[in-house]
Amino acid sequence: MRCKSGSRIIESGWICSKATDSFAGSRRRWIGTKRSERLPEWLCPLGGPALLFENIKDYKNTWCKRVMTAGLWNYKRLALLLGLDRDSSPKQLVEAYRDGIRRRLAPEVVSTGPVKQNILKGDDIDLYQIPVPYWHSWDGGRYINTFNSTVTRDPETGLQNVGMYRGMLNGRNKIGTLLARAQHWGVHYTKRQYRSEEMPVACVYGAEPLVEFLALSPIQHYGYSEFDILGGIKNQPIELVKCETSDLLVPAHAEIVIEGTISPDPATYEMEGPFAEHTGYYGGAASPKPVINVKCVTFRNDPIFRGSMEGNRPGWPTENSYPECIAMSAEIWRHLQDCGIPGVTDVWLMPASTYLNVFVQIRRDYEQLDWAFAFRVNAGEGDVVIHPGTFGSVLDPSCRLEERDIYKYGGGKWTRMLFDATRNWEFERWKHWNDSVYPPIIVMEKEMEDHVRGRWSELGLSDLVYKPTMPVDLDEDIKNRYSLAARPRK
């Protein structure tokens, strides 16, 4: 079952059906202070239900009275989102998403939509009317941008991008942001800065969940946007509507859209941070950062604010982690395919570390990999390669603070490491091994193997199943090249 295009985040059956125990409402009084309930933090790693808070202290007479969180934090909901059986494996989700992001269907631009039912401008704007929680007690403020989709446009190509970036309430009409230059909207911002132009921004809350899924995805999309990919995945175009104060196009059926601009002048930056991040650490100290100056707010009648507890204790996945590990795995796998890398059977990033550790499985099993690491990797022979000064995360606490300077590096500064577990062809060839650089692999000639296995029943071994694990056991050509042809000369 797919989430229907344009349906509300609470009305989408795949997310809130009480029959499938995927939604839980809370009508108890919820205190929106630094003593916020930590229920989402506990439910996330347990794959608990989505949460809707309705009876929130001090928000009885505001235009926004409800908060939803925990909508996408288990694989069953992500499977339904991608049109798969709810019991599909994570690998099946990765494969479906990998193939889905290759398809495109252009969005449909409409004149209006439910998100235009209410429009606020000027002095009528008050973001404190939204029940934004203090997600963690040491956060620098109330973080309004935790699970929203941020839309920007490239001033040179005219193409839109949809991303997900953190943002903190800095006032009635201001949102402080962590804007890294190496991210897609950071590229747009740099181009605007060169032109001395303000950058239009639209923050979308409560669009259909596939928009949020795509906003989390590090997809390379030349000549199209995430909205085109969404249409391709669903085989149905998403309806977009023009913003009130810019030419940005946003989902017509979203709950809330906040429109604004970011000044290119560093003198306008305001303090933002710290924030409890997905790393399990607080993401840096408070520092001056770019600010979204809000020009307009549009929203549905009785809208639902969408947010997420981004930072959990170490080793505990967040809501972002589940869709992001699927998206990152799929994109890396797609890239490997496009590069012509053969033999890839799986790609996976663990939810707890999200996008930091990548596991690529090739046509080998763990025993083969362990054997290759043990007897082919020699750090003294250049098999461990260090790549310093590469792009990384500004949130990684294992990096020195000065190497997480987004204004200097555009992101974090990482050092990556490569293990080469292949044969070292720079070794001298040994005549004793028939001019091979490695000694022959121990094998059994086919005739002898057939003879031994032919006596299996006679020896009472019928219950034993022979399962070859190494390529040399499966391919006679490999056996000949790496073993029989290198037999010691007599």
How do residues 307-352 score in pLDDT, each as one tens digit? 998 877 666 778 888 899 999 999 999 999 999 888 888 999 888 7
* Mean model confidence pLDDT for the chain: 84
pTM value is 0.79
Q: Could you give the angle at which helices 226-234 and 90-100 cross, rounded to 10 degrees?
A: 110
Handedness of CA 334, 336, 341, 342 (dihedral sign): negative
Looking at residues 426-443, what average pLDDT do you find?
Answer: 77
> Does position 19 have pLDDT exceeding 50, yes or no?
no
pLDDT band at 5 (very low <50, low <70, confident <90, very high): very low
> Does position 160 have pLDDT exceeding 90, yes or no?
yes
Alpha-carbon span 210 to 77, nearest angstrom: 11
Alpha-carbon span 367 to 108, nearest angstrom: 51
CA nearest 160: which of 221, 84, 234, 101? Answer: 221
How do residues 381-402 score in pLDDT, each as one tens digit? 888 989 888 877 777 777 787 7
Q: What is the pLDDT of residue 432?
A: 72
pLDDT band at 29 (very low <50, low <70, confident <90, very high): very low
Say which residue, 162 or 13, is predicted with more confidence. Answer: 162
The CATH number of domain 321-419 is 3.40.50? no
Instruction: Give me the residue spans of the domains in the chain.
Output: 13-306, 321-419, 431-486
pLDDT band at 41 (very low <50, low <70, confident <90, very high): low
pLDDT band at 248 (very low <50, low <70, confident <90, very high): very high
